[in-house]
Amino acid sequence: MENLNQFITNSPKGISPEEIIFLSADANYTNIHFANGRKSTYARTLKSVEGQFTEIGFFRTHKSYLVNLQFFKEVHWNKANPFMVLSNDFRVSIARRKRTELRRVLNTMSIIEN
């Protein structure tokens, strides 16, 4: 496992946050999913790293997911189980309490219309 702070601030591997599609929670670990299909695990909770990523265009759609909105493909707003589809065709759940905020953010970014 790598140090997440080093990863975010110009890591020696040359990885930038723009290469991350989404982050997922796994108990006390955070899985980082990259655009190239690679996955890394960090020994910190998703909540503890959320602030660093929301400042650069990520959105917490659910308690388990933090999504890079640059990789947004489409949203399905069905009442029972709304979800977002990312560019890698991964489906990310949208929590009931996050729906309004997500709509606002996507409208602000001119990604969707009401």
pLDDT for 86: 96
Bridge partners of 24, per DSSP, are 31, 65
Indicate the residue type of 72.
F
CA distance 71 to 47: 21
* pLDDT at residue 111 in the model: 66
- Quick one: DSSP state of residue 71? G
Do 77 and 102 form a contact (C-beta atoms < 8 A)?
no
As beta bridge partners, residue 111 has none
pLDDT at 79: 86
pTM of the model: 0.83
Residue spans of the domains in the chain: they are: 4-108
pLDDT of residue 14: 52
Is residue 19 within 8 Å of 35, Cβ to Cβ?
A: yes
Let me know: does 98 contact 61? Beta carbons within 8 Å.
yes
CATH architecture designation of domain 4-108: Beta Barrel (2.40)
The Cα–Cα gap between 97 and 10 comes to 34
List per-residue pLDDT tens for the chain, 114 residues long. 445 555 554 444 556 778 899 999 999 999 999 999 999 888 889 999 888 888 888 999 999 999 999 999 999 998 889 999 999 999 999 999 999 999 999 998 876 654
